[in-house]
Amino acid sequence: MSTETLTHDEHHDHGPESGLKRWLFTTNHKDIGTLYLLFSLLMFFVGGAMAMVIRAELFQPGLQFVDPAFYNQMTTMHALIMIFGAVMPAFVGLANWMLPMMVGAPDMALPRMNNWSFWILPFAFTLLLSTLFMPGGAPAGGWTMYPPLVLQLGDAFPFLIFSVHLMGASSIMGAINIIVTIMNMRAPGMSLLKMPLFPWTWLITAYLLIAVMPVLAGAVTMLLTDQFFGTSFFTASGGGDPVMFQHIFWFFGHPEVYIMILPAFGIISEVIPTFARKKLFGYEAMVYATASIAFLSFIVWAHHMFTVGMPLSGQLFFMISTMLIAVPTGVKVFNWVATMWRGAMTFETPMLFALAFLFLFTIGGFSGLMLAIVPADLQYHDSYFVVAHFHYVLVPGAIFSIMCAVYYWLPKWTGHMYNETLGKWHFWLSTIFVNVTFFPQHFLGLAGMPRRIPDYSTQFADFNWISSVGAFGFGLSQLLFVYIIFSCIRGGQKATDRVWEGSHGLEWTLPSPAPYHSFETAPEIR
């Protein structure tokens, strides 16, 4: 029997594969999942530290701590690290841990490639972070890398491009692995429409990744040849067009947003039925809604570009198609609420994070609809309203769902229960501070404060200091998260085999009657 099909417990035997060698050469999906999750946690704090620099500078008007060039480097690096280093590897880590078990496979289909796809990442981010110490400094052209700004970077530029290529290669390998595992290694009798929702959302996400990562690779390679090989793809003086870069970039960039949220939908679809003690409402509708969102994500990219001077017919098409995405998203939100309806709900930490996701992600969705309206977008574009919008999607959306998944599956991963009281403290601190941080930014944007600036007019001072206080509160709250995880790994109360029922007295043998639809028996027809 090969090592990759051993159980996780057998892997812990301190034989020749123990220590550093075990982690370097492992092909066990659980080990690789753990590596992804720990790497993502590290990058979450590195990217978070950069956000703290940004918010410290914006605490009051004037230039306090950093010069404008370094401030721009921080906004660029914060975004690249949070997207490619924190959110995406965390979802891939969760997929590595849970997918084989959810579809009944002994491991991922391509275990050695799995190991390789992880170990590319530390090198990619070492390259990216090393640009901070180069002459001229780190990339400061925004995470979107728009020309001509990004072409003025100096020594850091080729390192930025190479690190983006490495991140893309890692993502594509991970996606291929997930597709092959789901398609070829499902348990006998498990048709696609019998799969749990988390594998479904990841299957769709993996196809998105394979479709759009090469587009990003092409765009950044064209930037590279413009800089070093005399081409003029995006250089106006040579007959090129910088707006073409925006089209290519956002054709990648918009599906990328859904790559960061579809696995979150899968997690929420696992957690809510567990704590509502009911089956997921409208399973097939959820699958088709996810597929519809993925399809529509390819035809809405230019809503990021309403201000470039596109024809009216283009603006109308992208406005209407963007609004259309709200329909399948609304179906999902409706189904989650319907799942909870008349359920026997309890509110452990994973459920709290799932509920916060439901409310706060919906706020991000509504502000996205506002940005889809062309005449309004001309006012909101490149203002703090946009910053508030996408942070409401990514922090209470993607990051809360990752935290939700960690609390939900920690007992399964470690065999121990985490400290529920501390988990709830972490939830409430995170939820309060995330709103204190990002809600005022809607008002700043509507009042006209542009994004990506280190200094601002005094009229914006009040909301900015509130936002900065919230950001530092949120950042410090995450130290509690790390403490909870590591104290759970070290030991604690043993988890039972029915962790969300048996150990908390949540069986149906409660004094109150079972809910009307218990799914134990067919409901009466009334």
Closest CA to 413 of 142, 4, 12: 12
Overall size of the chain counted in residues: 526
Closest CA to 139 of 156, 158, 164: 156
Q: Report the candidate in 496, 412, 498 with the shortest Cα–Cα distance to residue 101.
A: 412
296 closest CA partner among 242, 258, 341? 258
DSSP state string for 160-204: HHHHHHHHHHHHHHHHHHHHHHHHH-PPTT--GGGS-HHHHHHHH
Distances (CA, A) of 182 to 190, 196, 372: 10, 11, 35
Select from 386, 326, 392 the least CA-distant residue to 359.
392
497: closest CA among 419, 415, 424? Answer: 415
CA 88 from centre of chain: 6
For residue 494, what are the β-bridge partners? 416
Pair 89, 121: CB distance under 8 Å? yes
Residue 129 CA to residue 49 CA, distance in Å, equals: 13
In 3D space, the residue among 282, 254, 274 whose CA is nearest the CA of residue 338 turns out to be 282
Helix residue spans in 58-146 (DSSP H):
68-80, 88-103, 111-130
Rounded to an integer, what distance in angstroms lies between the CA atom of residue 42 and that of residue 48?
A: 10
DSSP three-state, residue 494: strand
Residue whose entry in the numeric block shows the structure tokens 């409401």: 392
Catalytic site positions: 78, 107, 143, 170-171, 254, 256, 258, 269, 303-304, 329, 332, 451
SS (H, E, C) 222-286: HHHHHHHCCCCCCCHHHCCCHHHHHHHHHHHHHHHHHHCCHHHHHHHHHHHHHHHCCCCCCHHHH
Asked if the bond preceding 148 is cis, omega within 30° of 0, the reply is yes
CA atoms within 13 A on the CB side of 480: 19
